[in-house]
């Protein structure tokens, strides 16, 4: 029985694992590498031959967890792709959007490189196309939370609520080989407790092996205070200066949570009657899927819906789909709030809004999610004097702000709380999905405080599970 670590190892993005037993292989997640220094890996062949993988399980639909799935199919994978019902419901939107962005960016970069008389290494061709997505979707199967399923002979899986985004799951995989059964838990991305819209993460009690994320294993989210108070302060201060609040936004969960909180601020008159643009066709489509799977909402969301209707709608909100509508935002003369994807500023419409606002001292670039090392978002967050957008350099003159409490990831206390629920120590805990220094520090803390065996695996490391 072997476990392969094929991504998100000593870095955040590119989540991808494979379990091998009895001559069969099951992959868990197949995500895109988003940090600049690791992006070459996206074009490399999958480290485990796609033809030999029998099934793929998905924890959730963020691109760093599913963004290479169509490429895997194009390489020869033809087994079932299994996730929760909301995950499969969102997958079409996420992958199609990803393919369209890649095709558009590839064409743009090829044209720019031709104009500059040079040739890029990879960027002039997309990783996959919409046609590849069309070949992927028929393989997908949606399952219920909490129901154990037979994946392939020798592999059984149960999906539990992870509290990260709609449909997110932690996966308990029971693997049997030569009469020996081992339980392997993949945490996925563990959310925070008492967040709006979705249910809290599940506390699991036993496992032989645990593969656990460590994204915010070195910090606490609530140091900045209540997220709505922070949001109101940023919007009010920027409005007073006459600038725009530009928010790089993940289309799934983060956009909806922002709408939820801004709507509350509008109804409570804690912010001016400011125009709010959600400039992301994908986020608009995702919001519709949220309503379709409302049975996955938490009790507070249900109560709000019964009393006030959908909290994802409020006066001043404009849902932007077309490119023409997106460009028209630049003609809006008053202060406004612009939410656009992608969340780490690597692609999509957010880059155009950054170009319009990053050199304006009256505007604010507000980050509400993790920015991995090497991404444009991280460069801006680190307040580099200049950043490169669409092949041009721009001075960073806008105000830069960050609110940690919006994160879909649990903080240090949340992660320790989740791991502390195991009633006896697992044989091994593997920390992934975190920057190297964060994961290594968290490993030391877990070993010292709980006495667990902890390993921070390297990229493509193989471990024998006994």
- 425-461 pLDDT, tens per residue? 999 999 999 999 999 999 999 999 999 999 999 999 9
Q: Residues 433, 98, 15, CA angle at the centre, nearest 5°?
A: 15
- Residues 214, 360, single domain; the answer is no
Dist. CA 456–CA 6, nearest whole Å = 13
List alpha helices for 247-349, DSSP H: 254-267, 281-292, 299-308, 323-328
- 381-410 pLDDT, tens per residue? 999 999 999 999 999 999 999 987 787 899
Which range, of 137-146, 243-252, 439-448, averages the lowest pLDDT? Answer: 243-252
Q: Which of 359, 376, 406 is the last residue of a domain?
A: 406
- Residue 122: is its pLDDT beyond 70? no
CATH code of residue 346:
3.40.50.10890
CATH code of residue 215:
3.60.15.10
- Residues 96, 126, single domain; the answer is yes
**Could you tell me which of 177, 201, 205, 182 has the C-alpha nearest to residue 191?**
201
Helix (H, G, I), strand (E, B), or coil: what is residue 318? Answer: strand
Which two tokens mark 87?
């995950």
pLDDT at residue 346, as a whole number = 85
Number of structural domains the chain divides into: 2
pLDDT at residue 419, as a whole number = 97
The parent domain of residue 384 ranges over 223-406
- Residues 27, 103, single domain; the answer is yes
Dist. CA 2–CA 7, nearest whole Å = 16
The pTM assigned to this predicted structure is 0.83
**Could you tell me which of 90, 89, 290, 317 has the C-alpha nearest to residue 197?**
290
Q: How far is CA 201 from CA 30, 136, 193, 345, 387, in A?
A: 22, 29, 7, 28, 37
- Residues 25, 50, single domain; the answer is yes
- Residues 401, 441, single domain; the answer is no
- Residues 105, 88, single domain; the answer is yes
Q: Which of 366, 384, 406 is the last residue of a domain?
A: 406
Dist. CA 61–CA 313, nearest whole Å = 24
Largest Cα–Cα separation, the chain = 69
- Residue 334: is its pLDDT beyond 80? yes
- Residues 442, 394, single domain; the answer is no
Where b means 16+ CB within 10 Å and e means fewer, 37-62 reads ebbebbeeebebebeebbbbbbbbbb
Most confident of 185-194, 284-293, 312-321, 397-406: 185-194
- Residues 450, 320, single domain; the answer is no
Dist. CA 249–CA 256, nearest whole Å = 10
Phi-psi region of 253 (alpha: psi -120 to 50; beta: other; left: phi over 0): left
Dist. CA 97–CA 280, nearest whole Å = 10
- Residues 137, 63, single domain; the answer is yes
- 79-117 pLDDT, tens per residue? 999 999 999 999 999 999 889 878 877 777 777 777 777
pLDDT range class, residue 121, cuts 50, 70, 90: low
Q: Which of 360, 387, 406 is the last residue of a domain?
A: 406
Helix H or strand E segment including 246? strand 245-248
Mean pLDDT of the chain: 92
pLDDT range class, residue 191, cuts 50, 70, 90: very high
- Residues 321, 415, single domain; the answer is no
List Cβ neighbours of 131 (8 Å cut-off, separation of 6 or more): none
- Residues 182, 232, single domain; the answer is no
**Residues 357, 246 contacting (CB under 8 angstroms):** yes
- Residues 13, 140, single domain; the answer is yes
């Amino acid at each position: 029985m072997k476990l392969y670590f094929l991504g998100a190892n000593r870095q955040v993005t590119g989540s991808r694992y494979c379990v091998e037993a009895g001559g069969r292989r099951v992959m868990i997640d197949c995500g895109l590498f988003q940090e600049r220094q690791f992006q070459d890996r996206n074009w490399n062949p999958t480290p485990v031959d796609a033809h030999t993988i029998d099934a793929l399980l998905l924890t959730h639909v963020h691109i760093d967890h599913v963004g290479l799935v169509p490429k895997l199919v194009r390489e020869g994978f033809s087994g079932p792709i299994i996730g929760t019902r909301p995950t499969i419901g969102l997958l079409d939107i996420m992958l199609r959007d990803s393919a369209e962005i890649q095709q558009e960016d590839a064409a743009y970069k090829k044209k720019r490189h031709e104009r500059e008389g040079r040739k890029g290494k990879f960027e002039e061709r997309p990783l996959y196309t919409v046609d590849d997505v069309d070949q992927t979707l028929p393989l997908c199967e949606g399952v219920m939370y909490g129901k154990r399923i037979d994946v392939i002979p020798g592999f059984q899986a149960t999906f539990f609520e992870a509290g990260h985004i709609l449909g997110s799951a932690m996966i308990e995989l029971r693997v049997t080989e030569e009469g020996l059964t081992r339980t392997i838990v993949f945490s996925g991305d563990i959310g925070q407790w008492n967040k709006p819209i979705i249910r809290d993460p599940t506390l699991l009690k036993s496992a032989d092996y645990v593969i656990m994320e460590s994204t915010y294993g070195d910090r606490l989210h609530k140091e900045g205070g209540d997220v709505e108070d922070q949001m109101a302060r940023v919007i009010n201060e920027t409005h007073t200066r006459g600038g725009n609040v530009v928010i790089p936004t993940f289309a799934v969960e983060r956009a909806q949570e922002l709408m939820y909180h801004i709507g509350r601020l509008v109804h409570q008159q804690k912010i001016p009657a400011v125009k709010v643009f959600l400039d992301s066709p994908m986020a608009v489509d995702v919001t519709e899927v949220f309503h379709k799977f409302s049975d996955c909402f938490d009790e507070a969301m249900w109560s709000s819906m019964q009393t006030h209707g959908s909290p994802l709608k409020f006066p001043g909100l404009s849902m932007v789909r077309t490119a023409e509508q997106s460009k028209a935002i630049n003609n809006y003369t008053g202060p406004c709030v612009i939410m656009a994807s992608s969340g780490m500023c690597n692609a999509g419409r957010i880059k155009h809004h950054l170009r319009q606002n990053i050199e304006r001292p009256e505007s604010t670039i507000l980050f509400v999610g993790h920015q991995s090392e090497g991404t444009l978002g991280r460069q801006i967050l680190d307040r580099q004097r200049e950043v490169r957008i669409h092949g041009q350099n721009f001075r960073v003159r806008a105000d830069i702000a960050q609110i940690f409490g919006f994160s879909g990831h649990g903080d240090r206390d949340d992660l320790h709380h989740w791991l502390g629920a195991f009633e006896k120590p697992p044989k091994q805990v593997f920390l992934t999905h975190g920057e190297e220094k964060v994961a290594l520090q968290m490993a030391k803390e877990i070993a010292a405080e709980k006495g667990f065996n902890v390993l921070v695996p390297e990229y493509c490391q193989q471990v024998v599970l006994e």
